[in-house]
Chains A and B, each alone.
Chain A
Amino acid sequence: MSRPHLRPDGPPGATDTLVRGETYVLTTVYALVFYVATALLVGGLAFRVWQYATTPAPLKIPTTPAPTTRTGVWFRMAREVVLFQSLFKSNKWIWLFGYLFHGALALVLLRHVRYFQEPVWTVITLIQPFGKYAGFAMIAGLGGLWARRLLVPRIRYITNPSDHLMLGLLVAIGLSGLGMKFLAHTDIVAVKAFFLGLMRFNPQPLPADPALLIHLGLVAALMIVFPFSKLLHAPGVFFSPTRNQVDNPRERRHVAKWATARYESGK
């Protein structure tokens, strides 16, 4: 990793050297943290997906009525992932808050794509106005979910400390982000330079803005816990046999490798 290049702000001096030193440490630490977090997120998720994909589903167990064709299953999965169909059947409040949160999060994430590319795709530019305010919707959704977790006895009963922590983490990420957007602006040009630099393995100095450092630190924490936590529901849903299997057991014989090896080898 090359040494961060500092933008010339003025004539070099003692204070400046100090600032440069601090910025250097900070930039290096955050750069390392993001490399590690990205590696864990990508590697961890890839490992999980590999695990799920290679663990056999020995029996046909789609929750019926289920689609009888592969195409039908694609549509069923799309309805689950895009519309949260089953959750909608189950509980309108959880659906509302959950949908608000996930939908807003998707917009916010898309909005952030502009910090990772130059030039920025038109689509990303177009959603900026929506993405900007989606942060509030995200917090509202999280607030609703958190309130239910605290106020509904059934849900309080099934809650572990980590469930609160996860909500806290997401809320803190949202609030620190909104703070930078609407209260105290951070040097967004420098932030973008930092991330573009990271992607080119040539980190640029990161502004020492507390809100920014908190925001980025928490995001890195979220990336790190992702493959080790209930956030695995994201890849998990695609591998759920009750949702992704075709209802055709009479027409097509379905046998797992371990079952064939155990019962049918030699046949």
Chain B
Amino acid sequence: MAKVDILDRAAGEELPDPMEMPALCPGAMAQSNPYLAQPAHNEALGFPGELIEDWHDVAIAKMGELLGKYRSLKVYLDSCVKCGACTDKCQYFLGTGDPKNMPVARQDLLRKVYRRHFTLAGKFFPKLVGAEDLTKEVLDDWYSYFHQCSQCRRCSVYCPYGIDTAEISMAAREIMDSIGIGQKYCNEIIGKVHKIGNNLGLPKPALASTLEDLEEEVYDDTGVKVRFPLDEPGAEILLVTPSADFFAEPHIDGLIGYAKVMHEAGVKWTLSSYASEAANFGMFIGSYEQMRQVAQRIRKAALDLGVKRIVVGECGHAWRVAYSFWNTLAGPWDFLDPNYPVPQHICEFTYDLIQKGKLNFDKSQNDHMTLTFHDSCNVARASRMGDMPGGQFEIPRAVIKAVCNNYVDMAEDTIREATFCCGGGGGLLSDEIIDIRKKGAQPRMRALRQVVEEHGVTHMAAICAICKAQFTKVLPEFDFARDTIVSVHQLVSNAIILTPGPDDDEDEDDDAPDGAPETEDDED
């Protein structure tokens, strides 16, 4: 595949706008298909192993069932007036020009079958209202295009009726699972969570040794014994974080940041090997049942460990599930301390300590960087932090600004509620569909390019494991360094001044003294 963007542009030519409209290229992405789940992956979740004989009837029956269970689906399939407001809002459309990646057209793939089978107009005048039977071709389109939606909800911000394509694509994926058309990436991972406790399939011994290594590493770096406790009963806080935080870059630097903050907060905390995963891919496949099972693990871990609080690490969709759905799926959480939000985001946790003056920072440790912040879609449009609407935008920025001297926002129409998906969310973070991932990342990469060239931005921070993994992969395609993407708590980790414990070495070498004057660096 050719480089997606920018690079082949003549020198001096204007930077492309993130919103630049592509020409329509029908069918451009019709061949984009993630790997099908193996029968074993599907069966482990209670789905048929492969496409069943009477798939058509079962699919229609499933659609009927979902229409009775989800008001969103029913209302959204009825209400669209085809006004076109959403047509230029999806990053996958902006990146590919394939009209079926326009949110309304993606919805129409399901809506046309809904109309044919569930509306009078579609039964009697199918041509007139664009109703169609569910054929094998339509099913193929579903598989392809409902896996080119990252359920990021950008379209739902702009729809005059709030139609959320994520709801439609979740329903479509649930219908497909019910007839044996599962997606390998999601279904295999959910199976691992049920069996082992995390997406990566890291068993307890591996986890324990990773955490031991981290303790040593941090001790070597700082001379302070920062603990990474696992399965410690009697801890006050259970930290649930995406398993990528245990080994991937830059995720792991974020995990080190959480541990340092916990250390400074002076709280007893623990990770759980049973619930060693914040991610919940049950949401991606639209399955209430799967999502509930995964969420219940966290409840069980919290009860078994006897914790009083739950804090969630940097992960976008996990925070959506935790913030918006945990109470529904695994609540009530009446055994936890009601004086703290249940659950609490690690950014809320750190922000709270900053507000109380409990953390000390040497901001100059981040002076080699000029930061910008990528709002992760699920955090931005499907959750909140703090007490005020929009806290999910302000709190992470406040944390970054508390630990960094140089910060610049990207273009207003590409951040906060208008933020783009990284291109790899919603269960698309799979290598066989790297093409759509790169193209979906294009608008964000363009917005980043603007602040890099105009404001000298060097790094982009994020609070989502998927964003971090996706950007690590696609940044080089757009001529950025792989490590341009950083964790927010990596920045915290760089700047935080640790308090030595009783058995720690005395201040040895390069720890900046408290209250040292901050170095003036080149800011814009």
Q: Which residues of A contact B (CB under 8 A)?
A: 48, 51-52, 55-61, 63-68, 80, 84, 86-87, 89-91, 94, 98, 145, 148-149, 152-155, 157-163, 165, 228-230, 232-233, 236-237, 239-243, 247, 249-250, 252-256, 258-259, 263
Contacts and interface: CB of A to CB of B under 8 A. Distances in A.
A98 B382 CA distance: 28
Contacts of A67: 389
16 contacts: A51-B74, A52-B74, A55-B69, A55-B71, A65-B384, A67-B389, A94-B84, A145-B83, A160-B82, A161-B127, A162-B129, A228-B121, A240-B79, A249-B323, A253-B327, A254-B327
Contact of A160 (B129, B383, B392): B129
Contacts of B157: 63, 86, 89
Contacts of A60: 324-325, 328
Contacts of A65: 384, 389-390, 392-393, 417
Contact of A157 (B24, B70, B327, B387): B24
B79 A236 contact: yes
B288 interface: yes
B306 interface: no
B512 interface: no
Contact of B328 (A59, A149, A232): A59
Interface in B62-102: 67-72, 74-76, 78-89, 99, 102
Interface centre among B71, B88, B108, B328 (most CB of A within 10 A): B71
A203 to B, nearest CB: 29
B269 to A, nearest CB: 20
Contacts of B347: none
B390 to A, nearest CB: 4
Given A64-B389, A94-B83, A253 B328 contact: yes
Contacts of A148: 84
Interface centre among B83, B104, B157 (most CB of A within 10 A): B83
B331 A253 contact: yes
B272 to A, nearest CB: 21
A161 B128 contact: yes
A162 B128 contact: yes
Given A94-B85, A158-B82, A230-B79, A63 B156 contact: yes
Contacts of A145: 83
A242 B72 CA distance: 8
Nearest to A159: B82
Contact of A241 (B24, B71, B89, B121): B71
Contact of A57 (B70, B163, B324): B70
Interface centre among A60, A148, A165 (most CB of B within 10 A): A60
A262 B88 CA distance: 40
B292 interface: yes
B191 to A, nearest CB: 21
A59 B325 contact: yes
B380 interface: yes
A139 B176 CA distance: 44
B55 interface: no
Given A63-B156, A98-B83, A228-B119, A90 B89 contact: yes
A87 B70 contact: no
Interface centre among A55, A64, A86, A149 (most CB of B within 10 A): A64
B231 interface: no
Interface in B110-130: 119-121, 125, 127-130
A195 B88 CA distance: 46
A64 B394 CA distance: 13
Nearest to B119: A228
Contacts of A57: 70-72
A160 B105 CA distance: 11
Contact of A247 (B26, B83, B102, B389): B389
Contact of B99 (A157, A242, A243, A247): A157
Contacts of B70: 55-58
B383 A64 contact: yes
Contact of B162 (A56, A63, A94, A230): A63
B153 interface: yes
B300 to A, nearest CB: 14
Nearest to A52: B75
Contacts of B449: none
A229 B156 contact: no
A56 B390 contact: no
A98 B119 CA distance: 26
Contacts of B341: 250
Interface centre among B67, B68, B84, B128 (most CB of A within 10 A): B84
Contacts of A258: 69
A64 B160 contact: no
Interface in B159-193: 159-164, 167
B71 A52 contact: yes
Contacts of A161: 127-130
Nearest to A86: B160
Given A55-B70, A155-B87, A84 B382 contact: no
B381 interface: yes
Given A55-B74, A154-B99, A230 B292 contact: no
Nearest to B121: A228
Nearest to A67: B389
B158 interface: yes
Given A65-B392, A230-B79, A242-B164, A158 B87 contact: yes
Contacts of A68: 384, 387-389
A57 B84 CA distance: 26
A87 B87 contact: no
A253 B67 CA distance: 23
5 tightest A-B CB contacts, nearest first = A236-B79, A90-B158, A65-B389, A160-B130, A242-B162
A192 to B, nearest CB: 33
A152 B88 CA distance: 12
Given A64-B417, A237-B160, A247-B384, A228 B328 contact: no
Interface centre among A89, A154, A159, A253 (most CB of B within 10 A): A154
B332 interface: yes
A113 B380 CA distance: 45
B3 to A, nearest CB: 26
B342 interface: yes
Interface string B361-400: 0000000000000000000111110011110110000000
A80 B156 CA distance: 13
A55 B68 contact: yes
Contacts of B380: 64
A68 to B, nearest CB: 6
B347 to A, nearest CB: 15
B82 A239 contact: no
